């Protein structure tokens, strides 16, 4: 098992990591999951330009750079592939109680980027889709810091009335990356317990 690390906001480091991965795999990776991301709560009037730039650099520039490098390697080799970008239900809805304009904008950008990847790279056999998690039980989640308030939110805003778990998101990612999703590209799949349906 090999582990490669790098800064997704650095074009040079991304290029080196993708090239090294290809060497270790004996050819370009045919599956990419763009999952690097950060989440920070900050009201718009308190949001500094540096905070905005950092969020978009990691959450949007990162998927662009890595997706571009992987697609270029696949196209050069004449191989098909699948890209799964991690967006968020925050790309669809705002939240006054947990203000994250810079996060929301970055994740909406991921959806637009995904659609463009899908359209441009379809002739080369590369599919691109996005997964949009809702409230998922991960260390990043702040909703349940106050359990009573968190449960009230789940009861009112999530039809399944519970948090999702990482395995449920991973299952959708695996499906989108697999041959079972061979006619699916440019899609954004919410994994949110129904929250975006209400």
Q: What is the pLDDT along the chain (198 residues), one digit of tens a residue?
A: 789 999 999 999 999 999 999 999 999 999 999 999 999 999 999 999 999 999 999 999 999 999 999 999 999 999 999 999 999 999 999 999 889 999 999 999 999 999 999 999 999 999 999 999 999 998 877 777 888 888 998 999 999 999 999 999 999 999 999 999 999 999 999 999 999 999
Please name the residues in contact with 30: beta carbons below 8 A apart, sequence gap of 6 or more: 74, 79, 80, 81, 82
How many other CB atoms are there within 10 angstroms of residue 80's CB atom? 15
DSSP letter assigned to residue 74: H
Please tell me whether residue 156 adopts helix, strand or coil conformation. Answer: helix
Please name the residues in contact with 38: beta carbons below 8 A apart, sequence gap of 6 or more: 54, 55, 58, 59, 103
> What is residue 162's predicted lDDT score, i.e. its pLDDT?
95
Residue written as tokens 């990591």? 17
Put simply, whether the predicted model's pTM sits higher than 0.85 gets the answer: yes
Active site residues: 103
């Amino acid at each position: 098992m090999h582990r490669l690390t790098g800064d997704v906001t650095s074009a040079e480091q991304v290029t080196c990591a993708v090239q090294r991965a290809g060497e270790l795999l004996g050819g370009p990776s045919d599956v990419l999951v763009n999952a690097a991301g950060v989440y920070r709560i900050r009201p718009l009037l308190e949001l500094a330009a540096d905070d905005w730039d950092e969020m978009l650099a990691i959450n949007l520039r990162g998927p662009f750079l890595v997706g571009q490098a992987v697609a270029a390697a696949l196209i050069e080799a004449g191989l098909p592939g699948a890209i799964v970008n991690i967006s968020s239900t925050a790309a669809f809805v705002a939240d006054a109680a947990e203000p994250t304009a810079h996060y929301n904008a970055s994740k909406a950008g991921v959806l637009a980027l995904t659609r463009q990847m899908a359209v441009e790279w379809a002739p080369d056999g590369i599919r691109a889709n996005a997964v949009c998690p809702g409230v998922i039980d991960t260390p990043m989640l702040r909703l349940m810091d106050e359990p009573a308030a968190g449960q009230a939110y789940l009861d009112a805003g999530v039809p399944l009335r519970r948090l999702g778990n990482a395995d449920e998101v991973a299952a959708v990612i695996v499906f989108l990356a697999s041959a079972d999703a061979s006619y699916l590209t440019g899609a954004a799949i919410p994994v949110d317990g129904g929250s975006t349906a209400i």
